[in-house]
Amino acid sequence: MDTEYVGDDLVKTLFTHDEIQAKVEELARRIEKDYEGEELLIVGVLRGAVMIMADLARALNRHVEMDWMAVSSYGSGTKSSGVVRILKDLDTDVTGKHVLVVDEIIDSGLTLTWLTSNLNSRGPASIEIVTLLRKPEAVSMPVDVKYVGWDIPDEFVVGYGLDFNEKYRNLRDISTLAPHIYS
């Protein structure tokens, strides 16, 4: 969906679809180089990572295994609740595998800190994180992220998988949401 269909719901476009695709390609080249000769399991964090996971998997010029986890620390609000729950666990055994967790945004860092700790307890060969967006001002838990698309201000963003109350995920661009929508 193009931003014109949501009118006054958005303040400004941060990244266009073309800019996002170029960044995903750039991340894919780095990942290919770093995992050359290694088997790689990419794990998408549902639901927000659907878009980047699909585009990243297609951009990688190599075989990868894919799986999904669904975890939540938000509920229906705009800030983390502080409690992480597994809603859908992996179907794949990660023991001895190189795992690359794919997420669309790092906000507080709580979810990914918890998730990497959980996955580490399962005996992988390695765990790294790739995220399209990171809000350095909002991070309250240190998260070691190997691949970051962009650092952004601590604003509420939607599009390309990012939502507010399950809306706006299918926007092609990433934009800031107008405060009158979530206030």
Determine the angle formed by the axes of helices 17-34 and 50-59, rounding to 10 degrees.
60
The backbone torsions φ and ψ at residue 57, rounded to the nearest 5 degrees and listed phi first, read -60, -40
pLDDT in tens, 31-68: 999 999 999 999 999 999 999 999 999 999 999 999 99
- Amino acid symbol at 138: A
Q: Which helix (H) or strand (E) holds 182?
A: helix 179-182
Confidence of residue 147 (pLDDT cuts 50, 70, 90): very high
Catalytic residues: 107
Q: Which of 30-44, 116-130, 133-147, 155-169 has the lowest mean pLDDT?
A: 133-147
pLDDT value of position 83: 77
**Please, what are the domains in the chain?**
3-181 (3.40.50.2020)
pLDDT of 153 > 80? The answer is yes
Per-residue pLDDT tens over the stretch 69-124: 998 775 555 555 567 889 999 999 999 999 999 999 998 888 899 999 999 999 99
